[in-house]
Structure 1
Amino acid sequence: MNKRAGIGFYVFLIIFVFLVMFPFIWVFLTSIKPVGEIFSSFNWFTKHPSLDSYVAAFTHRPLVRYMLNSFVVSIVTTLLAVAFASFAAYALTRLPIKGKGLILGIVLASSMFPQVAILSPMFNIVTGLGLRNSYLGLVLPYITISLPLAIWILATFFQKIPFELEESAKLDGASPFQTFRKIIFPLAAPGVFTTGILVFIAAWNEYLFALTINSNDAWRTVPVGISMYTSEFSIPWGDISAATVIVTIPIVILVLIFQRRIVSGLTSGSVKE
């Protein structure tokens, strides 16, 4: 019975992984098909694999520029969001502040607003500051939408750290900032890495603000840039598939490099000792 259950589990696991990975597999297989074959058949594999779509993805649109823009915006957003969220989460979980629950509730409520609800005021603010078609013009709204989630995630990790460590540091004469920098922040490193990866991926994939604020082609990010591959009379699915594969590789590499820290952060934040 146990053997059958084990076999059934692995069969279910294989089916589940296949269903999850199917869109990515199909995009990759489409990217290596000749252009004429993409529209003429729905065969999984092609007998004549080609890299023409990858060449076209770089030559028809400035894909390298799009990726550079996404890297800069995502990295700056991640660094600023994690820094501000760390201070806020530390203050809300470790310092004697009244109304902590109410403040955290407001932070959580602010993250529930759809992006389209704040798009217009954010567009007016960025335009008023003269930051359209710039990196900072995207970093500001990205921090706005990523900060609430980052605060909540980091607050979970900071709450797990024993208060005795902080009290010992106070007895040794450490200030709250020294305690945060030398004790609390290093112990919460798995949570910080997890939060940083989630913020980076969210900024990398964001589309609505990038489409609205940066209208100049030289400042577009990856999601908007790929959507611009389409024309009035045709949709180059080969180029789009190839570009999708190319821009997914950095995220996959990033997750693979930090997978241990991500798993450690997720598990340590969800289990209380």
Structure 2
Amino acid sequence: MSTRKKVLWGVGSALIIVYCLFPIAWIVSVSLKAPSDLSNESFLPSEVTWQNYELILTGGASDLFLPALRNSFGICLIATAISCLLAMFAAYAIARLDFPGKKLILSTALAVAIFPVISIVTPLFNLWRNIGLYDTWPGLIIPYLSLTLPISIWTMSAFFREIPWEMEQAAQVDGATTWQAFRRVIVPLAAPGVFTTAIIAFFIAWNDFIYGISLTSTEAARPVPAALGLFTGASQFEEPTGAISAAAVIVTIPVVVLVLLFQRRIVAGLTNGAVKG
């Protein structure tokens, strides 16, 4: 490219980055402001304070935030593990076996992934209350699978298609059963794809709000996104803007760290198999 095009691409990329990161920078700035300084419309706080972080970690809001943080980690990790395990077998069957309805399964998985969550929350709410799953970890893990399993199947199937079929056949020729060849040959080769899928599934479960706010009512299972909507100020005249911003920053840190550490694997998982030749 010419120098002019490079400059234009650089300026355009910088503008897009600033546009995307400005809301995050604003939340960080608000989290460092004192309640009396929230009316200040300037970007930077008049005086940097950590009282919002102290409020949610050791203060009055810690009873709401810390259990929710524990619930989010536990529920999302379990939902991610189950979805990756189920998706691994489903993706192997879709990539390796020839059976009727294979394309229908992929189409159904895609349809489930784009289905509006809000339309099934009310039936789930009534069903969960009747069978005792309301406000429990399983009551959130099961709906989270409907969010994480479709994308996991799609991502893993792309990885399994790229694994040479001859390697599995060679293992079977050497005396390995189908299960042994799958466990000792296919799974290790597909480990990068499984890892990438796990990260993406964890992000999807971690960011869910509708299920969390609709299917929980106490700190027994309430996740962080739902807990943020229940923050209150010290009085009815005080808005918990600073505390919510501080909690949002803390919740965002694990996601940002994972993306920065494994961004190449995430991109590879999303684009693998998209281009042939």
**CA–CA separation in structure 2 for the residues paired with 1:189 and 1:269:** 16
- Displacement of 1:70: 0.2
**CA–CA separation in structure 1 for the residues paired with 2:130 and 2:175:** 46
Number of the residue aligned with 2:255: 251
**CA–CA separation in structure 2 for the residues paired with 1:106 and 1:173:** 37
Alignment of 1:14-53 (within 5 A): 14-39=14-39, 41-53=40-52
Number of the residue aligned with 2:68: 66
Q: Deviations over 1:53-81 (max 9, x none)?
A: 11122323221111100000000000000
Report whether the alignment pairs 1:224 with 2:223.
Answer: no
**CA–CA separation in structure 2 for the residues paired with 1:129 and 1:89:** 32
Residues 272, 175 of structure 1: alpha-carbon distance in 2 compared, 3 angstrom cutoff:
farther
Normalised to the residue count of structure 2, the TM-score between the two structures is 0.91
- Displacement of 1:126: 2.7
Opposite residue 242 of structure 1, the aligned amino acid is A
- Displacement of 1:235: 2.3
- Displacement of 1:206: 0.7
More helix by share: 1
**CA–CA separation in structure 1 for the residues paired with 2:22 and 2:51:** 23
Opposite residue 42 of structure 2, the aligned amino acid is N
Opposite residue 23 of structure 2, the aligned amino acid is P
**CA–CA separation in structure 1 for the residues paired with 2:125 and 2:243:** 31
Task: Assess if the C-alpha contact under 8 Å between 2:168 and 2:181 holds in 1.
Answer: yes
**CA–CA separation in structure 2 for the residues paired with 1:219 and 1:145:** 18
Task: Assess if the C-alpha contact under 8 Å between 2:155 and 2:270 holds in 1.
Answer: no
Task: Assess if the C-alpha contact under 8 Å between 1:92 and 1:100 holds in 2.
Answer: yes
Alignment of 1:179-198 (within 5 A): 179-198=181-200
Q: Secondary structure at the match of 1:219?
A: coil
Normalised to the residue count of structure 1, the TM-score between the two structures is 0.92
Number of the residue aligned with 2:112: 110
Percent pairwise identity? 40
Number of the residue aligned with 1:6: 6
- Equivalenced residue count is 272
Opposite residue 104 of structure 1, the aligned amino acid is L
Task: Assess if the C-alpha contact under 8 Å between 1:190 and 1:262 holds in 2.
Answer: no
Report whether the alignment pairs 1:159 with 2:158.
Answer: no
Report whether the alignment pairs 1:87 with 2:89.
Answer: yes
